[in-house]
Amino acid sequence: MKIRNLHSWNVSCAEAIRLQYKLRSKLILKDGFRVIRRVAGCDIALDQETRRAFAGVIVYAWPGLEEIERKYSVQKVTFPYVPGLLAFREAPALLNVIASLTHDPDLFIFDGQGIAHPRGMGIASHLGLFLDKPTIGCAKSRLCGSHEEPLKDKGVYAPLLAKDKSVIGAVLRTRRAVNPVFISPGHKISLKTAIAIILQATDGYRIPKPTREADHYVEAVKREKRGTPHG
């Protein structure tokens, strides 16, 4: 699929932060689609010893969640680990594997943040701009913001609030009495729709199927490729 080239990923940490501030004004936080036929789950596994990233994407038919396609790529990680700059460490490998897809997804779900980020530019938002597609961040933990604890019932959520009290996401209970997930819109989608899609994709589990299976996939690839010099 076609991917926009908005900037180089070979930048310093200071330049990466400047890019985040520059790009966040381009985000669209309302629904930018008419119909969803295919949804992709994306994740990455890192091998710290060899500094390799194992990126995977699985495409599903929507709303039935029947798998259509899965692909992976392996490449070196060059950007350091810096909280808040995850995209600059992981995006090159993710974009590489997404570009190899035969079927174009209409929407992407990332194991990470959308606008629920100190500069409003988590990996789901950042890659949403490169992909020019609706994206959702579905994280297992909070990066920033404050919230009340949501009630225990499935589907209940509490707003995730920035320092200025604006809503930047939702703390969503996807199963009764299990830990919530942290949902935030990435690009071209509203928070309300993002919540609805994640709930529809959970299929009885805490984590939605697209990113849950993508996580299993990249870990399996990492185990298989561990020890091989070039992946």
Average pLDDT, the chain: 96
**Is a pLDDT exceeding 90 seen at residue 2?**
no
The predicted model scores a pTM of 0.96
Taking phi first (over 0 means left), then psi (-120 to 50 degrees means alpha), and beta for anything else, what does residue 84 get?
left
Torsion angle of C-alpha atoms 27, 30, 35, 37, degrees rounded to 10: 50
Q: How many residues does the chain have?
A: 231
Sheet holding 67-76, edge to edge: 67-76, 52-61, 38-47, 107-110, 135-139, 181-187, 167-172, 157-161
Handedness of CA 84, 90, 95, 97 (dihedral sign): negative
What are the φ and ψ backbone dihedral angles of 61, each rounded to 5 degrees? -70, 145
Average pLDDT over residues 59-64: 98
Position 141 scores a pLDDT of: 97
**Is a pLDDT exceeding 90 seen at residue 182?**
yes
Domains present along the chain, CATH in parentheses: 29-225 (3.30.2170.10)
Reported as a pLDDT band with limits 50, 70 and 90, residue 225 is confident
Average pLDDT over residues 84-110: 97
Position 23 scores a pLDDT of: 98
Position 121 scores a pLDDT of: 98
Rounded-to-integer distance, Cα 169 and Cα 40, Å? 20
Position 229 scores a pLDDT of: 56
What tokens does 13 get? 């940490």
Reported as a pLDDT band with limits 50, 70 and 90, residue 231 is very low
What are the φ and ψ backbone dihedral angles of 184, each rounded to 5 degrees? -145, 145
CA–chain centroid gap for 59, Å, is 14
**Is a pLDDT exceeding 50 seen at residue 74?**
yes
Rounded-to-integer distance, Cα 54 and Cα 76, Å? 9
**Is a pLDDT exceeding 80 seen at residue 227?**
no
CA–chain centroid gap for 22, Å, is 20
